[in-house]
Structure 1
């Protein structure tokens, strides 16, 4: 049976990992993926470098052993030739012993040379495989970098769209300032004042028209009275009514 503390700890870590994953910045995660891809490629390159370096080291050893083989063969041949030409038994024995020593060394070098040739063959195959893996890793890295750049561009576009949407939402939520009159209120106030001014103008015009009509009516009455006096004068009654009007009350004509 699992220990309760162990189960709780696993649940807590899983929950924490999920929250971190949900709140993580995609650009940071993309950069992490890019760094991991480059690190993996560099690891393959380092391993391939070591393999190819081992092959190169074996090649240098082969060249050295081949040189030693040639030298020992030449020395053993010269010792045998000199032993065949020597006349003193001691010189012959000494030269033959030298030839045997050269031959023993030559056998050791040839054995080492054989082992080195086998190792070099294996190293060559490993180096070819390592080079192929490096080429595959480079192609894979280029593909990953192209995908990473595409993802980075998508994340940036998504952030721009989210920022634009948030700005539009904030603009929609902006409330008008209650301390400042709205455009409709200002328009209504101006129209009301303009209408009142028109009403005052119309009233003034009507009053002026009435006054002018009254003046015109008085002028007409005055002219009519003058015309009537002129007619009376033609009839010989010019001063009769005027005298009547001027005569005081209680007096009679003589």
Structure 2
């Protein structure tokens, strides 16, 4: 029973996390990630500062002890010299005092030298730790700079994605709404092309009608000329004068003039026949 409850709790937690991640603003999540990295870098810098401060303090203590060592060494040498001078001068009491002082300085020197040895070891360790801390801070700072640059790139990409999504939504809404109250561009194009094609068709039909009428007139003209020529031939041959007159009348004044001008030729021909 406990295992089932535990499994259900894990499932519910994972589902809630997935729902949260799906609905969460990527920009806010990105800011949170960068803020977390900056906070970690701040803690690292503080820790590195403590390590470096410890190294500096150890170095200061070592420098102080080295200065003290020089003073003790000088005092010990001076005490030895004064004891030697007192001995030479026959002043045993002073020689004893100076010897005791020199021994005290020597004991202090021994203790101080031991402390200095320990401080030197501590200083070496503190220096190494400080260098490691500086390296860690520098590396983490470089990583943070990369993350900040990546943040700017991702924010720019996010803005472009939002703009593209808004554009896609606008185009989708435009495709869905255009045509309900206003004709689409394709509909207008189709309508204009239809009217243009119809106008061209009517123009071609009108052109064909005019051409056919012109052909009809030309054919009628040729027919009239043919009838006139035929009447002329008949008149020259003296055949079917009545029919020729009728044809000329139907053909027009031009045929009548041609028949009249041809009359003297017929008479001349008739007169010349007996002479032969």
Q: Secondary structure at the match of 1:173?
A: helix
Q: TM (normalized to structure 1)?
A: 0.65
Counterpart of 1:127 (choices 125, 130, 133) is 130
How big is the shift at 1:6?
Answer: 2.1
How big is the shift at 1:2?
Answer: 4.5
CA distance in 1, matches of 2:43, 2:100: 54
How big is the shift at 1:28?
Answer: 0.7
CA RMSD across the alignment: 2.1
Aligned residues: 179
Could you tell me which residue of structure 1 aligns to residue 91 of structure 2?
88
Q: Secondary structure at the match of 2:177?
A: coil
Which stretch of structure 1 is more off in the superposition, 38-47 or 111-120? 38-47
How big is the shift at 1:43?
Answer: 2.3
1:17-56 to 2 correspondence within 5 Å? 17-56=17-56
Q: Deviations over 1:68-117 (max 9, x none)?
A: 10111111111111112223322222221111111111111111101111
Higher relative contact order (CA 8 A, sep 6+): 1
Q: Deviations over 1:191-217 (max 9, x none)?
A: xxxxxxxxxxxxxxxxxxxxxxxxxxx
CA distance in 2, matches of 1:134, 1:3: 45
Could you tell me which residue of structure 2 aligns to residue 200 of structure 1?
none
Q: Deviations over 1:125-175 (max 9, x none)?
A: 222222222221222122111111111111111111111222232333337
CA distance in 1, matches of 2:6, 2:33: 31
Could you tell me which residue of structure 1 aligns to residue 240 of structure 2?
none
CA distance in 2, matches of 1:8, 1:37: 33
Instruction: Tell me whether 1:77 sits opposite 2:77 in the alignment.
Output: yes
CA distance in 1, matches of 2:129, 2:65: 22
**Greater fraction helix:** 2
CA distance in 2, matches of 1:117, 1:152: 51
CA distance in 1, matches of 2:121, 2:146: 38
Counterpart of 1:137 (choices 137, 140, 143) is 140
Could you tell me which residue of structure 1 aligns to residue 209 of structure 2?
none
CA distance in 1, matches of 2:8, 2:137: 45
Counterpart of 1:157 (choices 152, 160, 171) is 160
CA distance in 2, matches of 1:109, 1:2: 66
Q: Secondary structure at the match of 2:122?
A: helix
Q: TM (normalized to structure 2)?
A: 0.60
- Runs of 4+ residues over 4 Å off in structure 1: none
Instruction: Tell me whether 1:97 sits opposite 2:100 in the alignment.
Output: yes
Which stretch of structure 1 is more off in the superposition, 112-121 or 7-16? 7-16
Instruction: Tell me whether 1:168 sits opposite 2:186 in the alignment.
Output: no
